């Protein structure tokens, strides 16, 4: 059906009629003074508002289910944890449900484009699905790197302030504010201002700061709340445990990076082999004509694309889920 539609639209006999319709459309727009930019903007805004409303409704339903004790399965929890990290990394003012709708909309648009090009719905679905998964993996990997950068600068700052904490948390923060990276300095300055110029409790101010700085700050926040309210002899030395923990985390990260780098090289090697074989089959040897001119050749080429996308997405998602599990454990341990 797609082939017939394309043949009809691009037929030399039909082209003059299409041009005439287009000219009539332009005349109508000019005569009735229709603002195409405004109309298209209004339509797009209307669709966008409906998608936002759908996301809000889905978010409301999920919150209601959580309030009555309905728990999600582990796959949904992992998915939500991953997307929360993405939203946090890019500081987006959206919910997990909004991001899900965004991905689904992209899948539909990409599927429509593939159906138009390939002219086969099954093969289009076969390619569009792993393509969106690969895009999702790329977005999450990028977000993970941003979070990793934030965690490193938080640990660097804690390594400076923990040995000097005897002066008090707020005073130590203020004296060593220049040691904080510009990326987190504003959050720390906000905490200092809250403690010095407002009546906010230390628990609330420290919880707000921990929410902004992430899991690597949770253990410090727990110790700092106790230290600020009821400091006892020896409590300051306990902050050195955080410095030691940061060393262990960095060591673990280096080992994990080395492992994932080897897996990345293996992934790129497998994809390269598949692409080289596919190029040879399409342009050299006795299979070239068969691959280009038969339906089976089209299927094989589509499967090559699917295999490459699946290998990439699978490799990235393994790394992502491993990091998410580690972050969840550290988060639970720090907040507990």
Domain ranges of the chain: 150-242
The token pair that represents 318 in the structure block: 């393994």
Torsion angle, CA of 38/43/46/51, rounded to 10 degrees?
-130
Q: Cα torsion at 294, 298, 299, 303 (round to 10°)? A: 150
Task: Measure the CA–CA gap between 253 and 323, rounded to whole angstroms.
Answer: 10
What is the distance between the alpha carbons of residues 213 and 151, in angstroms, rounded to a whole number?
8
Distance between CA atoms of residues 268 and 311, nearest Å: 9
Q: Is the model's pTM score more than 0.85?
A: no
Using CB atoms within 10 A of its CB, is residue 161 exposed (0-12), middle (13-18) or buried (19+)?
buried
What was the pLDDT predicted at 193?
Answer: 93
- Alpha-carbon distance of 273 to 103, in angstroms, equals 30
Task: Give the model's pLDDT for residue 321.
Answer: 67
Cα–Cα distance for residue pair 67/90, rounded to 1 Å: 28
Residue listed under structure tokens 């707000």: 208
pLDDT at 184: 93
Could you list the pLDDT tens digit for every one of the 336 residues in the chain? 677 767 776 778 787 888 888 888 887 877 777 777 787 777 767 776 776 777 677 777 777 777 777 777 777 888 888 888 888 888 788 888 888 888 999 999 999 999 988 888 899 999 999 999 999 989 988 888 888 899 999 999 999 999 999 888 999 999 999 999 999 999 999 999 998 888 888 899 999 999 899 889 999 999 999 888 876 767 788 899 999 999 999 999 888 888 888 888 999 999 999 999 999 998 887 788 888 888 888 899 999 999 999 999 888 877 776 655 555 555 444 444
What pLDDT sits at residue 327?
Answer: 53
89 and 143 Cβ atoms separated by less than 8 Å: yes
Whole-number pLDDT of residue 48: 65
pLDDT for 243: 94
Question: What's the CA gap between 201 and 331, in Å, rounded?
Answer: 22
Token output for 136: 């999702």
Tokens of 78: 């992992």
Closest CA to 85 of 1, 144, 129: 144
Query: What pLDDT sits at residue 336?
Result: 46
d(CA 228, CA 232): 10
Phi–psi pair at 286, nearest 5 degrees: -75, -15
Is 225:202 a contact under the CB 8 Å cutoff?
yes
């Amino acid at each position: 059906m797609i082939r017939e539609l394309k043949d009809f639209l691009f037929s030399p006999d039909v082209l003059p009629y299409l041009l005439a319709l287009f000219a009539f459309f332009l005349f109508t727009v000019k005569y009735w003074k229709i603002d195409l930019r405004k109309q298209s903007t209004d339509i797009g805004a209307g669709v966008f508002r409906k998608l936002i409303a759908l996301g809000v409704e889905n978010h409301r339903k999920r919150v209601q289910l959580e309030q009555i004790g309905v728990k999600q399965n582990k796959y949904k929890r992992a998915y939500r944890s991953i997307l929360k990290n993405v939203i946090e990394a890019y500081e987006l003012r959206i919910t997990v449900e909004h991001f899900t709708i965004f991905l689904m909309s992209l899948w539909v648009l990409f599927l429509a484009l593939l159906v138009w090009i390939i002219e086969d719905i099954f093969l289009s679905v076969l390619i569009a699905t792993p393509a969106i998964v690969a895009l999702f993996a790329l977005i999450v990997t990028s977000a993970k790197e941003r979070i990793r950068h934030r965690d490193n600068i938080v640990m660097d700052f804690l390594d400076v302030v923990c040995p000097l904490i005897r002066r008090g948390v707020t005073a130590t923060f203020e004296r060593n504010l220049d040691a904080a990276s510009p990326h987190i300095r504003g959050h720390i300055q906000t905490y200092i201002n809250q403690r010095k110029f407002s009546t906010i409790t230390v628990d609330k101010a420290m919880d707000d700061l921990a929410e902004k700085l992430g899991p690597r700050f949770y253990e410090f926040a727990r110790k700092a709340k106790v230290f600020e309210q009821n400091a006892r002899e020896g409590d300051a030395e306990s902050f050195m445990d955080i410095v030691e923990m940061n060393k262990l985390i960095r060591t673990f990260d280096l080992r994990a990076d080395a492992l994932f780098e080897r897996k990345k090289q293996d992934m790129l090697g497998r994809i390269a082999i598949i692409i080289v074989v596919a190029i040879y089959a399409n342009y050299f040897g006795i299979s070239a004509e068969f691959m280009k001119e038969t339906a089976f050749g089209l299927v094989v080429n589509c499967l090559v694309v699917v295999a490459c996308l699946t290998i990439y997405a699978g490799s990235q998602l393994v790394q992502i889920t491993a990091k998410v599990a580690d972050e969840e454990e550290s988060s639970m341990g720090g907040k507990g």
